[in-house]
Every structure is written in structure tokens, then in C-alpha cells.
A and B are shown apart, each in its own frame.
Chain A
């Protein structure tokens, strides 16, 4: 894509799911904004999710039964929709993680081949 903003990493296709599931495992049930903030912090600002990417992604995870969303109240007494990972979501994360690590180690071995 030629018109992407400089310095922003495009979300690799398929990585949003695993990132969201991992975040929910780490933080417990949180709302969408907290997920986006967390990903931005962990990636030192490299990952920036706008609403049009994040919420359809969450909806897809919900439709697949990997997360469950429920309206609740934040510590600042604000209504927000909280997402929690389900048992199926945890299984999916474990499988995806293993797959991701396998791919990464293959790439690592390949790219660090002695010249």
C-alpha cells in the first residue's frame, strides 16, 4: 500500500487475533480501548489500531466463540464493553502461539545462515 502512514506497522494478516487473545490473557477482561492502548505500549507505538480494525476483529473473535463481550462499568464509572477470553480462545491461543514460534524459528534460522 503506497499511502500508508510512515512509521506505522501494518497489522500482519492474522496476527490481530493472536495479539488480542494474548492481551486478554495477560490483562483479564478489558474494554477495546485498553486492548489498543496495551498493544501500542508493548510495541513502543509501532502497532496502532484504529477502531475500524479493532472492533470488527473483536466481533470476529466473538463470532468464533474465542472471546465473550459484555457491557460493564470502568473504574471511572464509565459504561464500556468488556472482553474476556473463553476456554476455546485459550486453546486457540496455545495453538496459534506454537505455530507462530515455529514460523519465527524457521525464519530466524534461514535469515541467520552463515554467508
Chain B
């Protein structure tokens, strides 16, 4: 099928390029001309018409073949099915609403789940060398994954030959007072190597230094940008003390 024929048939599916009437008229002419010829050969009136029909075929079959050629039958059927479906749905608004809500929920849940999978599993972590990050745990007789003590971590660092860097962290929660309303602040206690290992730089101030890890060093804190905006009004002055 050439492209031009195909386009013509698509067009013929939605806009009748030739009406059924037009097609049938043409076949009738053919039949009449065939009848004339039979009569010229000397057939009787009734016999001529019959003979002509036998010779050139029947109109309904030819009409069917022409309709098939005029349009894309499957597309026409599809359009008709869609129209029928729309009419049926309009007639049953309750069912339609239920179906639409079901679909909406299904699509919504799928989208939500994909967003999570995409963020958690598919997208890499926003750190340097995300594919090389691993978590290390201790293992004890009754715990598959146990926390490690800080001295143990120091031993790991000393004996490390496998990793380019190691960092320790412990989840914590702190009580914040003296800055407006007291509040509970989620926090992480981390080793000085933590931000270096992740390749994260603070927006303001300095990253943690090895000296901050030493016993008796002054406590250092790094706050989130959000916390800085909320509690310190994005102030860059250092007047705020603990």
C-alpha cells in the first residue's frame, strides 16, 4: 500500500470520499450495460438481467469489496467501538465515575511508587562516588548488624587497606533551648572525615577538621540551611553562642 493510498483510506474512514450511493450507482450502471449486451445477443428481457448478473457478479458483494477498499476497515471499526463506548459511559454516569476514580487511583499510586523507587533505587545518591559508598557494621553472636564503638572505629581506620576513607556517624536527637521556642532537633554525631568522604562542602563556614576529633577539642556543629534560615534568619553574624 503506498502512502498516498493509505492517507486516502484514512481520510475515507472519517470523511466519505465517495458515498455508498455513489458506489452503488456505478455498479448499477455496470449491471445495466451488461444487461444491454445480453439483450443485443437476443436474450429475453428477464433472462438478460439474470444472465448479466451471473456474468458480472452481484451488487452487494461488490459493494462490500468497495467499502473495504474505500477506508481502513479496522480503523472504522475502532472508531465505531469508541463511539459506542462513549455513549454507553454517558448513559451510566455512576459506573463511569467509579471506573474513572479506580483508574485515577491506580495511576496515582503507580506514579507515587515509581517516584519512590526512582528516588531511592534508580537515582544515584547525591554524593561523590555514590557507587563506591558502602555501610560497615559489626557482627556479634546474636546480632547480624550491630553498632560499633568509637574506639573500634578508630581501629578500623588504623587497619584500613580496602577503603579510601572511613567515617562514623550516630543518629541522635538534641534539645534546643535559648532560641525562641524550645524544640527537639534531629542530629547526627559524625567523625571529622564524614563530609570529606561524601564530598560535601558547607555553604558557610569551614568543614570539620581532624583536630575537631581530638579529645578535649571545642565542640563544632554544622546546621542545615533550612535550620539556619528558620532559627537564625539567614544571619551571617557569629554573635550567636551556645
Q: Let me know if B57 and A50 touch, CB within 8 A.
A: yes
- A56-B68, A60-B69, A63-B5 known; A33-B29 Cβ under 8 A: yes
Query: Which B residue sits closest to A34, measured CB to CB?
Result: B33
Q: Is the interface of A mostly helix, strand, loop or mixed?
A: helix
Min distance, Cβ A39 to any Cβ of chain B, angstroms: 13
Q: Kindly state whether residue B66 has any CB partner on chain A within 8 Å.
A: yes
Interface size class of A (residues with CB under 8 A): 20 to 34
Q: Judging by beta carbons under 8 Å apart, are B34 and A63 in contact?
A: no
Are B62 and A55 interface neighbours, CB within 8 A? yes
A97 close to chain B: CB less than 8 A:
no
A91 adjacent to chain B (CB < 8 Å): no
A-B contact number at CB 8 A: 73
Instruction: Tell yes or no: B2 within 8 A of A by CB.
Output: yes
Q: How far is the CB of A30 from chain B (nearest CB, A)?
A: 11
Q: By the criterion CB–CB under 8 Å, are B4 and A51 in contact? A: no
Give the distance to chain B from A88, nearest Cβ to Cβ, in Å: 9
Give the residues in chain A near B70, CB-CB below 8 Å. 59
Bound-state Cα–Cα, A67 to B168, Å = 83
Q: Contact at A80–B29, with CB atoms within 8 Å?
A: yes
- Asked if A64 and B26 make an inter-chain contact with CB atoms under 8 angstroms apart, the answer reads no
Find chain A residues with CB under 8 A from B68 CB.
56
Chain B residues with CB under 8 Å of chain A are 2, 4-5, 8-9, 12, 18, 23, 25-27, 29-34, 37, 55-59, 61-62, 64-66, 68-70
